[in-house]
């Protein structure tokens, strides 16, 4: 269990992020067409998993926009934006903001992803959602970088995540 903060108040997660060098846990998340996606759907590509509570908060929205901008410079990388938002809300957000370089995935069917990646908030006002984190995977799903953001309202370290791509 890790501790992060929401506006300075401590909240706990379900566990710890996968460590650098570890094999990433598989997942089943829902895309905008309501189809299940797993790690194997992104085989052979490097992956940036931007994990956050909801696109309807300012910092989460900004992080999706930032990764969308970076995706244009990293065509060999898939930028996965993962939250508990419904795929419809994720799609509306991306459409309203002209974001075409990222792929949104939803935990709407269950929270196994957040549990397995150690980001599920288990207490506090956002319990049941995910803490803010970034996990970068290589083509073989080995963890290159992981960051659990200490203050949920803060942005992740984009530069460290992108630098880990090589």
Q: Residue 48: which CATH number? A: 3.40.30.10
Q: Is 60 a catalytic residue?
A: yes
pLDDT band at 127 (very low <50, low <70, confident <90, very high): very high
**Distance linking the first and last C-alpha atoms of the chain:** 30
Taking only the tens place, the pLDDT of each residue in 42-51 is 999 999 999 9
Per 3-state DSSP, what percentage of the chain is helix, strand, and coil (rounded to 5)?
25, 30, 50
Catalytic residue, candidates 60, 102, 133, 143:
60
Supply the pTM of this predicted model: 0.93
pLDDT band at 151 (very low <50, low <70, confident <90, very high): very high
pLDDT reported for residue 73? 79
Taking only the tens place, the pLDDT of each residue in 102-119 is 889 999 998 999 999 999
Q: Does residue 113 lie in a domain region?
A: yes
Could you tell me which residues are beta bridge partners of residue 5?
10, 151
Q: Does residue 78 lie in a domain region?
A: yes
Report the relative pairing of strands 133-137 and 143-148 from DSSP bridges: antiparallel
> What is the average per-residue pLDDT within 73-96?
89
Q: Does residue 35 lie in a domain region?
A: no
- Residue with the bigger pLDDT between 99 and 141: it is 141
Q: How far is CA 57 from CA 45, 61, 126, in A?
A: 29, 6, 12
pLDDT > 90 in the chain, percent: 76
The count of structural domains within the chain is 1
Q: Does residue 76 lie in a domain region?
A: yes
Q: Does residue 32 lie in a domain region?
A: no
Q: Does residue 53 lie in a domain region?
A: yes
Q: Does residue 52 lie in a domain region?
A: yes
pLDDT reported for residue 110? 87
Host domain of residue 150: 3-18+42-163
Residues 2 and 117: beta-carbon distance below 8 Å: no
């Amino acid at each position: 269990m890790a501790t992060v903060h929401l506006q300075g108040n401590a909240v706990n997660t379900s566990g710890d992020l996968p460590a650098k060098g570890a094999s990433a846990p598989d997942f089943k998340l829902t895309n905008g067409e309501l189809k299940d996606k797993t790690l194997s759907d992104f085989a052979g590509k490097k992956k940036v998993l931007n994990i956050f509570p909801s696109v309807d908060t300012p910092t989460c929205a900004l992080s999706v926009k930032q990764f969308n901008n970076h995706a244009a410079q990293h065509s060999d990388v898939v930028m996965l934006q993962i939250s508990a938002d419904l795929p419809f809300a994720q799609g509306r957000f991306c459409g309203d903001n002209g974001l075409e370089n990222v792929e949104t995935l939803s935990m709407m069917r269950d929270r196994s992803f957040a549990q397995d990646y150690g980001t599920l908030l288990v207490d506090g006002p956002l319990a049941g959602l995910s803490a803010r984190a970034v996990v970068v995977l290589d083509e073989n799903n080995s963890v290159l970088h992981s960051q659990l953001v200490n203050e949920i309202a803060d942005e992740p370290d984009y530069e460290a995540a992108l630098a880990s791509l090589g």
